[in-house]
Amino acid sequence: MKIIDAHAHLCHEPEGIDALVESGVFEQIWLMDLSGVGSLGSLRFAEQKELLRTVRNYPGFFLAFGYIDLDHARPDEVSRLRDLGFCGLKPYKQLRPYSHEIYFPLYARAQELGMPILFHTGLIAQGTPYDGRVTHAFGPENMRPVHLAGVAEAFPELIILAGHQGYPYLEEMEHNLYYYKNICGDISGYLRSVPRLNEILDRRAHDGTDRFFNEKLLFATDEFYGNEASNARALRLAKFWESYFEFIGGLYYRWGLPEEQEKFFHGNAERLRARFLSQKKSLREFH
């Protein structure tokens, strides 16, 4: 079974991508552009052009989500990102909660263009300290999962991907999965809460779709592809989750049945992809 990694990033001057593609483990990797965010410690993110170039160099293997500055962008920026080749959006550390109405024109444009938004939820890596200018938020408060409920209600056709399942605000994320058909989650960074997954993957949603939680969660690594250590770790993470689904799920739970496993590693992401790539203004080059 080939895997779709639904939440990852790219380093500046990426290396080892050929080997990653040739490993045969991944069918596709969705790259979140963080070029507008700066750096994380010594880690430098790929620039926007660099990320788009990498996507173009490996047709079909990557999909790109463009960084959007929610506090300063206007709706035309959403369209511009779409025209550049980004199929989705990725905000980060905005100044107000995700559900603040000031962001609604941006969400409305994304919904209209069929662009999914991957929202970070929960704990966040520490960035640079306050320096007298406030250009972004600090800490996880504005990115709590509960704020996505309002976005989902206001924009029922917007495809909302909640990164990391919102740790440690797991109850809020489970509420979202339960009630909103347009919220899915990715499990990157969720290793600390794996025991919780045993229980919730078989939980039935109440979102009008007849789905279980294992049909609303996506495999993801959140790795920064392009350096050898990250590339290798992503391959090990894929093995870890495959083993978890086989040896825990396969023995004790409905979500471990082979056809259910397939949804987590591939099918759920494939269905979403089919939706956002089939929009009227289709991204032909990425099909």
Q: State the minimum distance, in angstroms, from the CB of residue 122 to Zn ion.
A: 11
DSSP H/E element including 53: helix 48-57
- Contact between 160 and 186 under an 8 Å Cβ cutoff? The reply is no
Closer residue to Zn ion, CB minimum distance, 30 or 103: 30
> Per-residue string for binding with Zn ion, 85-124, x by CB under 5 A?
----------------------------------------
Closer residue to Zn ion, CB minimum distance, 5 or 260: 5
242 strand-pairing partners: none
Closer residue to Zn ion, CB minimum distance, 5 or 222: 222
Q: State the minimum distance, in angstroms, from the CB of residue 52 to Zn ion.
A: 18
State how far the alpha carbon of 207 is from the alpha carbons of 145, 148, 176, 184, 220, in Å: 17, 15, 9, 12, 23
Count of residues of this chain found to bind Zn ion when the rule CB under 5 A is applied = 1
Binding segment (CB under 5 A) for Zn ion, from list 19-27, 63-71, 103-111, 216-224: 216-224
Closer residue to Zn ion, CB minimum distance, 20 or 32: 32
Binding segment (CB under 5 A) for Zn ion, from list 81-89, 127-135, 178-186, 215-223: 215-223
Closer residue to Zn ion, CB minimum distance, 174 or 222: 222
Binding segment (CB under 5 A) for Zn ion, from list 13-21, 84-92, 218-226, 276-284: 218-226
Kindly state the tokens that stand for 47.
Answer: 């620039």
Please count the CA atoms within 13 angstroms of the CA of 123 that sit on its side-chain side: 8
Dihedral Cα 112, 91, 135, 55, nearest 10 deg: -100
If binding is defined by CB under 5 A, does position 222 make contact with Zn ion?
Answer: yes
Euclidean distance between CA atoms 34 and 124, whole angstroms: 14
**Closest to 266 measured CA to CA, from 68, 29, 96:** 29
Interface residues toward Zn ion, by CB under 5 A = 222
